Structure 1
Amino acid sequence: MFRKNGWTKERVEDKAVIFDFSENYKKFLDDGKTEREVVEISRKLAEENGFVHIENVETLKAGDKVYFINRNKNIVLSVIGEDDILKGINYIVSHIDSPRIDIKANPLYEELDLAYMKTHYYGGIKKYQWATIPLALHGVVILEDGTKVDLTIGECENDPILMIPDLLPHLWGKSQAERKAPEVFLGEELQILVGSMPMYLEECESKELIKTHILEILKSKYGFGEEDFVSAELQLVPAGKARDLGLDRSMVAGYGQDDRICAYTSLKAILDLKATPKRTVVCFLADKEETGSNGSTGLQSNYLEYFTTELILKVKGSFNAFDLQKTLWNSKALSSDVNVAMDPIFKGVHDPMNAAKLNNGIVITKYTGARGKSGTNDADAEFVAEIRNMLNKNDIVWQIGMLGKVDEGGGGTVAMFLAQKGIKTIDVGPALLSMHAPMEISSKLDVYETYRAYLAFYNL
């Protein structure tokens, strides 16, 4: 179904199924607000559905289900297909990092009888959107002896929240009001208010009694001290749960839907495979897309080659370098990332004939990039036709889209990094409103059609 509102009479009759699917999706968003949390949730679901850690498997045959974990920030699920693995793999690759605010390595200070923590934002955000909203602290602290402390503060009803204070409108006239929108808040002004009560100790020589109190709370309640911030990964994310949006409850508002909407639907699709697929299939949940896919857990690393090599070795019983190159060159991939839904309030930044809309199904994005298609994959017409045919054969609601007018801005996904490995690749994912905001908006219909599209690709 090409470029039509997906809520046809038949889809409305299926509303209960579509809405039920989104209930589990919302729980996934609530429980998985960081990469590590998503990996752990996915691992548990994988094991419940018969997937075995690759380290516990010596050989692989058709129908076997295995998973890999890379540094607790990537997870890969694979089902071995009936065809020779050298004929290629069907990869669906999503990212599980989302824009957020990170705590610095030396964050805590006291000034004017208040305790603050310094931060560094992660990914592309409108910084002003993160002020005065309830924030929760998620992450891990690794102590000097190697002990891991898992931390979640601000999600339970009785938890305290954290917040970035803002300047009142009465006094902003000669400071914030004269700034351009990207500078209403500067990066160094995104500081978290964490306390205001001093601790009086007889033997305490510190003059920073409020900071001392915060450190005492961290030590007594959470088990780590000031130096331990150095070996911590602490992330500030919007507190609270994903919610139904609209009087008709047809949409989901929640944090991190870019790109956990694709992570959930691709994960659920591989878990729901009923029969052994023709081709070997892979669900790869990656990290670092929002900052350029760098690092050992991003798509610019060689982790895809690493786990693919191990799959080939354990299927074939032997391996040479050409086996990997041949497998990748024969493979197909969906870069499963979101596109932008056209907002009627700001429709001037789009080409309406080539813009995605909410409720119009999953989006085929032939190319992303910016200006003269810089930093893009630009899928070949033959592969676009194959995906189009797959969607139509399975009666999946779909549309085409691009990231705004030609010279308006643009953006990128992991598609070009997959294509550089020789894999036929195209971007296919749903559209969002308010992308990269603390709360993003998706259509429940689009969520479900995305799941159906990914299930069809695994069976291609």
Structure 2
Amino acid sequence: MLGKKADPKDLKKALFLERENAWDHIPEAQLKSMKTYMSNYRSFLDYGKTERESVDTAIEILEKAGYVDIRKTKDTKKIYYNHMGRAVAVFRQGKGPIDKNLRILVAHIDSPRLDLKQYPLYEDEEIAMFKTHYYGGIKKYQWLSRPLALHGAIAFPDGTVNTIVIGEDDDDPVFTIADLLPHLAGKAQMDKKANEFIPAEKLNIIVGGIPFSNDKEVKDRVKLHVLSLLNETYGITEQDFVSADLEIVPAGKSRDVGLDRAFIGAYGQDDRVCSYASLRAVIDAEDPEVSSLILLLDKEEIGSEGATGANTVIAELVLGYVLARHGLDQSGVIRRLLANAQCLSADVNAGVHPDWKEVHELRNAGYMNGGLILSKFTGVRGKGGSNEASAEYVARLRNLFDKNGIIWRVAELGKTDEGGGGTIAKFMSYYTMNVIDAGVSVLDMHSPFEITSKADIWMMYQAFKAFLED
């Protein structure tokens, strides 16, 4: 310890916390690997814009790395479990006892979007339109006047399922929601609050405008033409929309942002940035002593409810499969394993926006290029609906990350009375395990074009890998 006679500069350096820039701590020897990682991550974003596509893309990556569907093998060394095509669990067996210790990374693969309604297609003023129902927390005005794509699947009564992706190839048409011109928007929009000037029922997609035939006595000729095109390509009738999961997402690929390419801009980085890091960490972890469970789940953006979300028994289900192969599938063994587990709830936090600093408490905020972000608690205002990590668990992670050269800081989601949010962490805490939120800062979160820092992403990946290897 430094005494009163210490030089003030030395004392300040020893006692004060200084914010670090993650770029200053990435060795030149890692830059090539980092560039490859970012390229592969962008591909994951581009090919996984929905939860179904994210599962398919994750499984393709896993199988190339030697992982096998748990239903097709008795081995438990490297396996995955595809849950209803909308969530995926990954298990990697460590060298130690399989029923004693466990590391868990849990992230989500759903993102805010527009879903088509059950009977979406209609014609109005000789324009064919789709009705939508927004999913998750969005600013509705951000979805106007931009190219949109249609992704999803249609299930037919005979058991077949057709996948649809329209709007991503260069030769594809795109869709859009037309806004009102400023000349006529004074009373209709401009005098209203931002959350009111575009009602949800006006988030309607333009899908066509050419009549099916010249017979003007036939009603809804444009709608008929659009439906005939869908039927010709995908076998769809209007009734088939009721057994479909069709999502409207921003069209186009992820992009590097900035002249120096410091950032990545893309749809769905909350939370696929953490999902991909979790996936790569379990694949790349070197000779782990402790077994790992990775959960990439659905429904987080609407509270983790539903059969493919975190508020289920999916962790118990997957571990039951695994432990049964070792004669240890008793419920008590599974619950004790989960209770003794250490978990990172891999999710993002808000980065300080240079133009909107007033919504943050700047001493306790996340910053772009600030490295890994830990959120000791989430929730709303008085920590409502949150999990809060213990001091002991935070101390253990401090030691782990410092030992491995990880740049990190702790952050809250905005000022205490400003708002807040919840994550999967509270659902994992039901098992009485140690859990804390860990991810990266994001600008423009929940928008069609979210921004992350490559330096932060790299620190997060390194942190997740160290967590699984420890």
Q: TM-score, normalised by structure 2?
A: 0.94
What is the 5 A alignment of 1:335-350? 335-350=345-360
1:273 Cα deviation from its structure 2 partner: 2.4
Q: Decide which moves more: 38-47 or 7-16.
A: 7-16
What is the 5 A alignment of 1:325-340? 325-340=335-350
CA spacing shift, 1:7–1:354, aligned 2, 3 Å: same
Contact map agreement 1:96 1:259 (CA 8 A) in 2: yes
Letter in 1 for 2:249: V
Letter in 2 for 1:241: K
Cα distance in 2 for residues equivalent to 1:11 and 1:3: 19
1:34-59: CA deviation from partner (whole Å, max 9, x where unpaired)? 01111111111111111111112335
1:64-110: CA deviation from partner (whole Å, max 9, x where unpaired)? 11110100011111111122233231010000000000000101111
Cα distance in 1 for residues equivalent to 2:124 and 2:310: 42
Say if 2:33 is the partner of 1:17: yes
Aligned partner of 2:394 among 359, 374, 384: 384
Corresponding position of 1:178: 191
Aligned partner of 1:45 among 51, 61, 74: 61
Cα distance in 1 for residues equivalent to 2:38 and 2:331: 43
1:274 Cα deviation from its structure 2 partner: 3.1
What is the 5 A alignment of 1:271-310? 271-275=283-287, 277-310=288-321
Letter in 2 for 1:369: G
Cα RMSD for the two superposed structures: 1.5
Cα distance in 1 for residues equivalent to 2:22 and 2:90: 30
Aligned length: 454
What is the 5 A alignment of 1:18-167? 18-58=34-74, 60=76, 64-167=77-180
Contact map agreement 1:101 1:236 (CA 8 A) in 2: yes
Say if 2:210 is the partner of 1:197: yes
CA spacing shift, 1:174–1:126, aligned 2, 3 Å: same
1:129 Cα deviation from its structure 2 partner: 0.1
1:210-232: CA deviation from partner (whole Å, max 9, x where unpaired)? 00001100001222111110000
Ranges in structure 1 where 5+ consecutive residues have no aligned partner: none
1:421 Cα deviation from its structure 2 partner: 1.5
Corresponding position of 1:257: 269
Letter in 2 for 1:270: V
Cα distance in 2 for residues equivalent to 1:13 and 1:378: 37
Aligned partner of 1:231 among 240, 243, 246: 243
Say if 2:447 is the partner of 1:437: yes
Say if 2:51 is the partner of 1:5: no
Cα distance in 2 for residues equivalent to 1:139 and 1:193: 18
Cα distance in 2 for residues equivalent to 1:394 and 1:283: 21
Q: Percent identity?
A: 43
Contact map agreement 1:3 1:400 (CA 8 A) in 2: no
1:301 Cα deviation from its structure 2 partner: 1.1
Contact map agreement 2:316 2:335 (CA 8 A) in 1: no
CA spacing shift, 1:2–1:30, aligned 2, 3 Å: farther
Q: TM-score, normalised by structure 1?
A: 0.96
Say if 2:212 is the partner of 1:211: no
Contact map agreement 1:121 1:187 (CA 8 A) in 2: yes
Contact map agreement 1:86 1:330 (CA 8 A) in 2: no
1:31 Cα deviation from its structure 2 partner: 0.6
Say if 2:290 is the partner of 1:243: no
CA spacing shift, 1:290–1:58, aligned 2, 3 Å: same
1:11 Cα deviation from its structure 2 partner: 4.2
CA spacing shift, 1:319–1:18, aligned 2, 3 Å: closer
1:430 Cα deviation from its structure 2 partner: 0.7
1:422 Cα deviation from its structure 2 partner: 1.6
Corresponding position of 2:407: 397
Cα distance in 2 for residues equivalent to 1:450 and 1:345: 26
1:3 Cα deviation from its structure 2 partner: 3.0
